[in-house]
Structure 1
Amino acid sequence: MRQYKKIALYCAASLSLLAAACWPVTSLLRLPSPTALIGLALELRPFSQSYVYFDSAPFAASTNPQSLQTSSPAQSTSPSPFLSQQVAWRNGATLDLAQFLGQTHTDALLVIHRGQLVQELYPLGATRETVFPSYSVAKSILSDLTGIAVQEGKLSLSDPVRKYLPYLPEKFDSLKVNDLLNMHSSIHVDEKYDSVFSQIAYMYITTDLKRFVRGLGTTPFTPGEGFVYRSIDYLLLGMVVSAATGEPLTRYLQDKLWQPMGAQYPASWSVDSDAGAVEKSFCCINARAIDFARFGLLHLRRGQANGKAVLPESWMQRPEQVGVADADFAYGRGWWLPRRATNGQDYTAIGIHGQYIYIDPVSDTVIVKLSDHGAEQDEALTVAAFHSIVASLSAAKN
């Protein structure tokens, strides 16, 4: 046993020396510390806790939290009796709800139906206090911030992007704000999550996002290409909103959305670095599940919270379809639009590894599901399971 401890100490010492030697290299390449890189590469933490490797900008909770009526005990460990115990699943079969939550590695499941919190479930040991990263759910939130900026007259969707980002390469002169909002930019920064050498991987970890953007001059650009899902569009959109409003994106979120909607807890937005302070606006808002649920409820309430208008009512309609991703989902203004077995009104935010804020105005339901699942795994099946939950709620309440 002593020999194993000695070997472990030698290994730890060697890794420490290697990390120290690598520090200047990572700084030169605008990368996080070697310690953070090792943690990310080896997945030493679950995906739901990877935000700890990055710097972040905090924003405050509301001074007037929006109360939520509840019909079940908070932070329960078993599904509510209101929820269907069987959900639609693969190949037309059904799956027990607990099995569904287990197979999709669910950290949190919250359901608000007709204004009541009917489920707040943390199957893997998290609590209401646990912070979770949004991943690309942040795109839907940024879409709403864009709507606020438009309503305030701070920008127009027809504005050229270089009006706000003059350091962007000149070849992007034709690029409009609306192209970013609806992912029509045609900038070829591919979404290759399976390669640590991809542009999206570097964009996620770099400590200098402005330098990354200035380097887009060598990136292929095909105007008129149409809808292609690319996170670069929402990185640029966040920079545009920040420049147009004259505020850091985090402060704009805090003042215009987080506090007015009555968020119970403070939160943060991951940034490239404390020095750069550019929000990773294509992802990475770190918050409690209950406040993500409040954001969804804001959509059901036509942008109203605590008796006040927070979001433009016109922005609260189901987004118009601007492109089709596949047989299961279309896309519109930062939101995914289910194409199968729906009432035609539901829409959802989706983040990598199984993050969802699902909104169904017809049944007056919000479902928040936060997970440690595969990169883009079982998304259509998960939405089909949400349909089962909605159907059981509607039947139980009628």
Structure 2
Amino acid sequence: MSATLTAEKLPPLPAQPVGVPWPTDEWPLGDLPPNMDKARFARLMGHAFAATPPADLGETFGVVIVKGGRLVHEQYAADHGPDVTCPSWSKAKSITHALAGILAGDGKLDIHGAADVPEWQGAGDPRRAITLDLLLRMSSGLAFREDYVPEHPSDVIEMLWGAGKDDTAQFAASFPLAHEPGAYWSYASGTTNIVSRCLARAAGAHGSDFEAFMRARLFEPLGMTSPEPKFDAAGTFIGSSFCFCTPRDFARFGLLYLRDGVWEGKRLLPEGWADYARRPTWQQADAENPYGAHWWLGIAGDGSFSANGYEGQYTVCVPDLDMVVVRNGKTPLEQRENPRAWIAEVVDCFRGA
């Protein structure tokens, strides 16, 4: 049931406009488009950055908007700024997707082969049928409970701060199947940490060595100087949740995917890898929102795709507008849908008055 790289036609990804420099060293600046709804846009920004954080959004730390490869709007709360790192939470999952692409491009990873998970190699273990593709599409079938309310049974809280914190991948890989692999979609942070360890094994690098790989192959080519990835005691990048960055660097990462994995004329991600991220995964009818491969779909209109994180962290790519929108903040759990709606409204301002 997992989608393939060629299963469906996707809207094209825009190339970097001729004459617009890449933001490797610094962001080229631009103006807001004259035909956008500037009054509505100003109201939305005023609401988000009100002196007293609004109840429906909570705190907004920073917003960065890139259009046509240029930084056209940037705004921060009083205690933040362009050099202050913000939490990624689950936006780190999309960074993990990029690292998987780099290793696949190196020929060290086969996403359609069985995942390299030692805990699943016993004779007759049904988890041996789980591929890396199924993990990236959150379709492994593992019985992992993704809940962020402390008093609720939560495997993700136990993984990050409880019994699983020293070896997040081993903890996540220990769960049995609840469904046949590929037959059920279930968003699970444990899945990403299993992927992260698979990447480390493929690269032959753990802990500081894997961090050096991340920096040399992904962050440094983009000019991302702020990332702070976190590792567990076993040396696995906690790709489910922890890669702090500035909003500008989150925007650089979004632009890489909007540019189809190409940066300054050099292909960093394999051809088709960005399309793989945004190709819809099969989901059962009651699934929460459309999903691709470690990227969410449709937050800002058809064809948009996004890295989403807890408490309202978003990096949204909008191909038809050649646009990246980053929002970092701290939104209460009970208001978690509101930043999505706010971002959709912001993007809609650029579709014309």
**TM-score (norm: length of structure 1):** 0.71
The one-letter amino acid of 1:179's match is: L
Query: In the alignment, does 2:95 pair up with 1:141?
Result: yes
The one-letter amino acid of 2:132's match is: V
Residue number in structure 1 paired with 2:61: 107
- More strand as a share of residues: 1
Residue number in structure 2 paired with 1:61: none
Identity over aligned pairs, percent: 24
Q: CA deviation at 1:360?
A: 0.3
Residue number in structure 2 paired with 1:288: 246
Secondary structure at the aligned position of 1:145 is classed as helix
The one-letter amino acid of 2:247's match is: A
Secondary structure at the aligned position of 1:369 is classed as strand
RMSD, aligned α-carbons:
3.0
Residue number in structure 2 paired with 1:386: 343
Query: In the alignment, does 2:110 pair up with 1:151?
Result: no
- For 2:334 and 2:110, the matched residues in 1 are separated by 33
Greater C-alpha Rg: 1
CA contact (8 A) 1:84 1:97 kept: no
Note closer, same or farther for the CA distance 1:178–1:212 as it changes in structure 2 (3 Å cut).
closer
Deviations along 1:318-365, one digit per CA (max 9) or x if unpaired, are: 6111144868720010111127x82x2111111000000000011011
1:17-166 aligned at under 5 Å gives the runs 65-71=24-30, 84-86=38-40, 96-101=44-49, 102-103=53-54, 104=57, 105-161=59-115, 164-166=116-118
Q: CA deviation at 1:284?
A: 0.7
User: Match for 1:303 among 246, 261, 266?
Assistant: 261
CA contact (8 A) 1:82 1:118 kept: no
- More helix as a share of residues: 1
**Greater RCO, CA 8 A, separation 6+:** 2
Note closer, same or farther for the CA distance 1:112–1:372 as it changes in structure 2 (3 Å cut).
same
Q: CA deviation at 1:95?
A: 6.3
Residue number in structure 2 paired with 1:227: 185
Note closer, same or farther for the CA distance 1:127–1:100 as it changes in structure 2 (3 Å cut).
closer
1:233-244 aligned at under 5 Å gives the runs 233-244=191-202
Residue number in structure 2 paired with 1:395: 352
Deviations along 1:215-241, one digit per CA (max 9) or x if unpaired, are: 854645432442111111111001101
CA contact (8 A) 1:345 1:361 kept: yes
Note closer, same or farther for the CA distance 1:304–1:194 as it changes in structure 2 (3 Å cut).
same
- For 1:283 and 1:140, the matched residues in 2 are separated by 10
- For 1:231 and 1:373, the matched residues in 2 are separated by 19
CA contact (8 A) 2:227 2:243 kept: yes
The one-letter amino acid of 1:262's match is: G
Q: CA deviation at 1:120?
A: 1.4
Q: Any stretches of 5+ residues in structure 2 without a counterpart?
A: 1-22
Q: Any stretches of 5+ residues in structure 1 without a counterpart?
A: 1-63, 73-79, 88-93
1:194-213 aligned at under 5 Å gives the runs 194-195=149-150, 198-206=154-162, 208-210=165-167, 213=170
1:306-385 aligned at under 5 Å gives the runs 306-317=264-275, 319-324=278-283, 329-338=289-298, 342=301, 344-375=302-333, 377-379=335-337, 381-385=338-342
- For 1:175 and 1:360, the matched residues in 2 are separated by 32
The one-letter amino acid of 1:281's match is: G
Q: CA deviation at 1:262?
A: 2.0
CA contact (8 A) 2:185 2:287 kept: no
Deviations along 1:13-47, one digit per CA (max 9) or x if unpaired, are: xxxxxxxxxxxxxxxxxxxxxxxxxxxxxxxxxxx
**TM-score (norm: length of structure 2):** 0.79
- For 1:247 and 1:376, the matched residues in 2 are separated by 39
Secondary structure at the aligned position of 1:370 is classed as strand
Q: CA deviation at 1:208?
A: 4.7
User: Match for 1:268 among 225, 228, 233?
Assistant: 228
- For 1:310 and 1:322, the matched residues in 2 are separated by 24
